[in-house]
Amino acid sequence: MKSFKSEEEARAAGVYISKVKSFVKREGRLTNAQARAIEVNWPSKGLSVEQGLLNFDDVFGRTAPTVLEIGFGMGKSLVEMAAAAPENNFIGIEVHRPGVGACLADAEEAAIENLRVFEHDAVEVLALSIADNSLHRLQLYFPDPWHKTRHHKRRIVQPDFVQNLRSKLAVGGTFHMATDWEQYAEHMMDVMTQAQGFENTSSEGPAGYVPRPDYRPITKFEVRGQKLGHGVWDLIFKRVS
């Protein structure tokens, strides 16, 4: 950004400015099955920011509502959602390569055709690959809470991020968050209740949480937490303008 006086000036000139990442990339070790799944399935199910703005009709070969999930982990719940809703397109973003491999392996085993994946930073994917007003739903389930105060700036749910994703949702589209960390749920609620262009869908009022919708599977991690008495908070905000 050396030639620009501010980020706003750079953005006006059409220059994308990379920010502090909201994750720590963990390469991990690929199993043989995960490596094979990436090699075999990436040509048909892999997406790259080098492709530029995506036309979902071209990507999926049809016109359908598109759901995007940020940070799908090992991908089991994403594959389950894609299998349960064949009428929707699903795109997943994950930086952990073994997770990408596991997701593609499960998708192959289940013969899932309505799923595509990125192995890339979500902020850059949104900026470079997702057209405005194109998403039906955006999902963010159990992101890293960065619970230490000095790390709060790394939490992905921040005002700037929310406004960036707002432009990617169609009017009427929803941003669905879930966390098992109560302080992060409160942080999410604080950011979203102040976010321009969004409305809480909770029947409990503008600062209310929602019951887990049927389309979000309960993960093993979540079940284990519930047995230990941990809570889970779901927030669903709709883009209204």
Residue numbers belonging to the annotated binding site:
69, 94, 121, 144, 148, 180, 219-222
| The one catalytic residue among 132, 144, 190, 214 | 144
Strand, helix or coil for residue 161:
helix
Tell me which residue of 83, 203, 73 sits closest to 139, measured CA to CA. 73
User: What is the rounded distance in angstroms from the CA atom of residue 7 to the CA atom of residue 25?
Assistant: 25
DSSP state of 189: H
Question: Catalytic annotation on 144?
Answer: yes
Positions at the binding site for substrate: 148, 180, 219-222
Give the Cα separation of 34 and 39 in Å (integer): 9
Q: Are strands 115-118 and 46-47 parallel, antiparallel or unpaired?
A: parallel
Please state the separation of Cα 196 from the chain's center in Å: 20
The pair of structure tokens assigned to 110 is: 């289940």
Residues labelled as active-site residues: 144
